[in-house]
Structure 1
Amino acid sequence: MSLVNAKELLIKAKNKKQAVGAFNFTNFEQLKAIVNACKKENTGCILAVSESAIAFMGIDNIIEIVKNETKNTKVKFALHLDHGKSYEICKKCIDAGFTSVMIDASHFNFEDNIKLTKKVVKYAKKFNVSVEAELGKIEGIEDNTKSLESILTSPTDAVNFIKKTGIDSLAVSIGTSHGAYKFKGESKLQIELLKQINKATNFFPLVLHGASSLNENLILNFEKFGGKINGAKGVDDNSIKQSIKYGICKINVDTDLRIAFTTGIKETLQNESIFNLREYLKNAMKRTEYEVIKKLQLFSLKV
């Protein structure tokens, strides 16, 4: 099946009170594992790449491998630019064949965020490409850029931003962070704030970034084979269910998949005689696929 506009997936999920998984990949093996998981679950997803992933893989290579891996599937996929920081990178991705882009101008003031986002929306609509934007600021490290503070999304600002930009989905800041250390204390999303945003925006498609779970088994396996990630805290399953119930219909996952993939490599290389790349890459893919399947099942639960 050819790639679809992400908005198509989000609206369908929103109507079912479910969420679409947006899974970041950085190489062919990660992509293949994600697609295989979706095939097994008969569930589509959003295939996401960051600017640094594009620099690493090459934009033309990304387009070709995504098209080849998804062309004979019955499930639907969107190819999405995650956290595009400029009009130029968004345009480059649209011209290359991406079906969805995120313009992240949250580091600008409100009016400049609107101005840049509108410019991207105007160009994207010519090619039926969906546009996500971010309002508020999400703490943590995203694509080698560190944000030291979190600014929660204002419901009133969200309404005005959506009206003035014409975006298709909005990433909101409700208390999580990018990376492996999402909370200083207990895992706690600002669900009451999310309820207010959802109601104020008339149930507009909302996005949750920094949603990896860093669950106990994932971390234990990583550390079992030599990894070190002390004090990692993620978003628990109940918080994910609550976020979907109150308006989130796209959930971004990156860190969990990085850890799963790396664990697969570390596990295989416990055998010091192995130097066949396929051996440890296959195990990395297996662990990644397992993690994606768990996410797909969680996101599709009736809430």
Structure 2
Amino acid sequence: MPLVTTNEMLKKAQAGHYAVGAFNVENMEMVMAVIKAAEEMNSPVIMQTTPSTVKYAGLDYYLAMVRTAAERASVPVAIHLDHGSSFELAMQALRTGYTSIMIDGSHGSFEENITLTRRVADACLPSQISVEAELGKVGGKEDDLEAENDSPYTDPQQAKEFVERTNVTSLAVAIGTAHGLYQGTPKLDFERLAAIREVVSIPLVLHGASGVPDDAVRESIKLGICKVNFATELRIAYSDGVKKYLAENPDGFDPKKYGTVGMENVTALVKEKISVCGSEGQA
């Protein structure tokens, strides 16, 4: 089926008290692996690319791969720009054909974040393309994105004002997760999340879920999270598959063979995450 936006996808998740998994893809094999998992679980799915991934091949390359996968798939698929780093990149993604766009103005001041986010939301409104923003700062490092670990969490009242003044369709909140690998077990601020949910009606997003215990992800969904991002774990799963094949077959040289093992790892992982998100059977 054609690519879809995340608007109805996340509204349906919000009404059904589950979340849609959003998976960062780096190559054709990961796209194919994520789609296979989504179809086997009969789940909607969101494919994501970050600015550094876009630099690697280009918005058009990733759109072409995901669009082809979506057209062959029996489940709803959206393609999302994750952590859009500028108004210009967001507009490039919009013109290229991305069906969901994140603009991350969280590194600026509250007012600067509002101004940038509103510009993107206004530009995307005529074509009804979904716009995600971030308030507060998710810590850690992923790709070229980095935030201090002591960055402030999302303030509920600021979140309410932010949504009202920007007209975004979803909001990523900072409640204790981080990008990349955790040094210990993250502790999420569920009380803060519940307070945000009380004053913000649009779908909420959890970034940095790789490494967060499954029970914590489930609890965050109960409290209003409708989209959960996974990136680092997918990269590790794919790379581990390739390493395993080459270790067992040192003379191997066919990318299809070690790529297949990497894909199998990613498919298995994505199926687990879809189950945790509760979106199985929701396509």
How high is the TM-score relative to the length of structure 1? 0.89
Alpha-carbon distance between aligned partners in 2 of 1:114 and 1:189, rounded to the nearest angstrom: 25
Name whichever of 172-181 and 147-156 sits farther off.
Answer: 147-156
CA shift, 1:249, in A, is: 0.4
Q: Distance in 1 between matches of 2:230 and 2:72?
A: 25
Q: How far is the alpha carbon of 1:301 from its aligned partner?
A: 6.6
In the other structure, the counterpart of 1:220 is none
In structure 2, what is the Cα distance between the partners aligned to 1:63 and 1:145?
22
Match of 2:204 in 1: 206
The one-letter code sitting in structure 2 at the alignment partner of 1:239 is A
- 1:179-237 CA-to-partner distances (Å, cap 9, x unmatched) read 012xx554311001101000121x4210000001xxxxxxxxxxxxxxxxxxxxx2101
Moved over 4 A (4+): none
Summarize the Cα distance change of 1:301–1:34 in structure 2 as closer, same or farther, 3 Å threshold.
Answer: closer
Over the matched positions of the two proteins, sequence identity in percent amounts to: 41
Counterpart of 1:190? 189
Contact 2:20 2:279 in 1 (8 A): no
Q: Which runs of structure 2 are paired with 1:122-137 in the superposition (5 Å)? A: 122-137=122-137
Name the counterpart of 2:115.
115
Assess if the C-alpha contact under 8 Å between 2:51 and 2:84 holds in 1. yes
Residue of structure 1 equivalent to 2:171: 170
Task: Identify which of 203, 208, 213 aligns with 1:236.
Answer: 213
Contact 1:27/1:57, CA 8 A, preserved across alignment: no
What SS is found at the alignment partner of 2:48? strand
How far residue 254 of structure 1 moved from its aligned partner, in angstroms, is 0.2
- What is the match of residue 62 of structure 2? 62
**After alignment, is 12-21 or 63-72 more displaced?**
63-72
Q: Is the aligned partner of 1:268 residue 2:269? A: no
Contact conserved, 1:34 with 1:289, CA < 8 A, in 2? yes
| Alignment check: 8 A CA contact 1:204 1:247 kept | no
Partner of 2:229: 252
1:30-41 matches, within 5 Å, as: 30-41=30-41
Aligned position for 1:280: 258
- Per-residue deviation at 1:105? 0.2
- Specify the alignment match of 1:90 in structure 2: 90
Segments of structure 2 that go 5 or more residues without pairing to the other structure are none
**Structure-1 separation of matches of 2:75 and 2:218:** 23
Runs (5+) with no aligned partner, structure 1: 213-233
Q: Distance in 2 between matches of 1:115 and 1:146?
A: 22
Structure-2 residue corresponding to 1:230: none
CA distance in structure 1 between the partners assigned to 2:190 and 2:240 by the alignment: 32
RMSD: 1.2
Whole-angstrom distance in 1 between the partners of 2:262 and 2:63: 23
For residues 15-54 of structure 1, the C-alpha deviation after alignment (integer angstroms, 9 at most, x for no partner) is 1100000000011111110011111111111110011111
CA 1:275–1:185 in 2, change beyond 3 Å: closer, same or farther?
Answer: closer
Q: What one-letter code is carried by the residue in structure 2 that aligns with 1:173?
A: A
Checking the alignment, whether the CA contact within 8 Å between 2:238 and 2:263 is kept in structure 1 is yes
SS at match of 2:127: coil
8 Å Cα contact 1:13-1:249 kept in structure 2: yes
The 2-side partners of 1:260 and 1:175 are apart by 24
What does residue 80 of structure 1 align with? 80
* 1:60 Cα deviation after fit: 1.6
Once residues 142 and 171 of structure 1 are traced to their aligned partners in structure 2, the CA distance between those partners, rounded to angstroms, is 16
Shift in Å, 1:146: 2.0
Indicate the larger mover: 184-193 or 125-134. Answer: 184-193
Q: Superposition pairs for residues 282-297 of structure 1, below 5 Å?
A: 282-297=260-275
The aligned amino acid for 1:192 is E
Q: For 1:192 and 1:185, how far apart are their aligned partners in 2?
A: 21
How many Å separate the matches in 2 of 1:280 and 1:76?
A: 29
Q: Is the 8 A contact 1:3 1:76 kept in 2?
A: yes
- SS of the residue 1:167 aligns to: coil
**Equivalent residues of 2:24, 2:48 under 8 A apart:** yes
